[in-house]
Amino acid sequence: MDVVALVDCNSFYASCERVFRPDLNGRPIIVLSNNDGCVVARSAEAKALGIQMGVPAFQIEGEIRRHKIAVFSSNYTLYADMSRRVMETLRQFSPEIEIYSIDESFLKLDRTQDLLAIGESIRSTVRKWTGVPVSVGFGPTKALAKLANRLSKKSAGVMELTTREQQDEALATTAVSDVWGIGAASTNKLLRYGIKTARDLRDADDVWVRKLLTVVGLKLVHELRGIPAIDWEETVSPKKGICCSRSFGESVTTLEGLQQALATYVSRAAEKLRRQNSLANVVTIFFHSNPFNGDEPYQRSGVIAFPTPTATTNEMIRFVSDAAAKLYKPGTRLKKAGVILTGIVENSNCQLSLFYERDRQHDTALMSALDKINDRFGSRTMRFGAEGIDPKWAAKFEKKSPRYTTRWDELIEVL
């Protein structure tokens, strides 16, 4: 008989920063989103100060100074590498592992084992091998493991919800809004009918739930009852949409700037596309003004179908730049732009066109050379001129820590 464990890294980004800065032990830490915009991670000390997830950094400048909060820009290279280390460590405990996000994994374990002891062992091993603190929740389903994990963070860091009694108590004391999969919209609907706790939801009528929350909600209710309804996905399936979008460090006010930004984003998206061995049929571009600063709202988007499926960056840049020129209105201040690749197909089953010819072999060779160079010497070592050189619109990361684990020249120094 199986049991599901959910292992979740505590305050992941903040914890990654602390691993390399032991001087920050006990100090509140926050990590900011792109452009040093919003708070996306908070250490336990920062949470205790009442710093909310998602608040704009400029709104809490006073608190930051008063409490000497350590502030970091996002260092995705570091977090991705630390995540890989944590996940590799978790494989020691079960061959059946589903990496759910950068800081969470589901593991399948044998129910006959002493779960609390296993949980402790996971915590101490990951801590010792990577420096990252984790919490562990056990349950018969993913939703219950998730809930157990949530509750574990308020106590010893390990919690199991495997018996009916444990579940009854935990569900009764959990607000329905705290259930995994129940967001603001569903919470409002449920509260209107007097469903306040996770236990109320678990005990609701199937037909009624399906009508109110569709099959997604019904699956969730089954999970809360201990009946697995959410699939186990160990293999990463290829993405069906690949998006790359960014807010600008400085407003873009020219077509040229917009085209550079879009070229940069489509390059990144194409890179991801090639990495999963796919081609795209369609690219959507979008851009808009700043919705916060009182500027006239302005937004445009366009959908471009490629003549044949492609993963060739320079080909994409041409289509994207042409479309941008058609959509762009001079005299606007743009804050954000992005591209989305869709209509994604496997590289092997690609429908060619009779009337559109490109030297596909040449394209493939060029892209493969480009990817190899960037893999070896670092991302964006070689790129297209259309992306611009050191552009002003590029996002700001003014408080970024070194890439301690992935760059020889940024290794930690012990003096």
Footprint of DNA (CB under 7 A): 33-35, 37-38, 40, 54, 56, 58, 100-104, 146, 179-187, 214-216, 237, 239-247, 251, 268, 272, 290, 292-293, 303, 335-336, 338, 395
The DSSP secondary structure of 238-259, one letter per residue, reads PPS-EEEEEEEEEEE-SHHHHH
Closer to DNA by Cβ: residue 18 or 146: 146
Closer to DNA by Cβ: residue 362 or 380: 380
Q: How far is the CB of 308 from DNA (least distance, A)?
A: 16
Give the Cα separation of 371 and 380 in Å (integer). Answer: 9
Q: 408 near 401, Cβ under 8 Å?
A: no
Closer to DNA by Cβ: residue 18 or 336: 336
Measure the CA angle with vertex 207, ends 206 and 213; round to 5°: 85
Give the Cα separation of 36 and 168 in Å (integer). Answer: 42
Give the Cα separation of 370 and 388 in Å (integer). Answer: 17
Q: How far is the CB of 237 from DNA (least distance, A)?
A: 7
Q: How far is the CB of 309 from DNA (least distance, A)?
A: 14
Q: How far is the CB of 245 from DNA (least distance, A)?
A: 4
Helix (H, G, I), strand (E, B) or coil at 111: coil
Q: How far is the CB of 122 from DNA (least distance, A)?
A: 18
Closer to DNA by Cβ: residue 173 or 214: 214
Q: How far is the CB of 66 from DNA (least distance, A)?
A: 17
Q: 396 near 35, Cβ under 8 Å?
A: yes
Closer to DNA by Cβ: residue 121 or 347: 347
Closer to DNA by Cβ: residue 121 or 247: 247
Q: How far is the CB of 33 from DNA (least distance, A)?
A: 3
Query: For residue 290, how many other CB atoms are within 10 A of its CB?
Result: 16
Give the Cα separation of 363 and 315 in Å (integer). Answer: 9
Closer to DNA by Cβ: residue 245 or 405: 245
Residue 146, exposed/middle/buried by CB under 10 A (0-12, 13-18, 19+)? Answer: buried
Give the H or E element holding residue 165.
helix 164-172
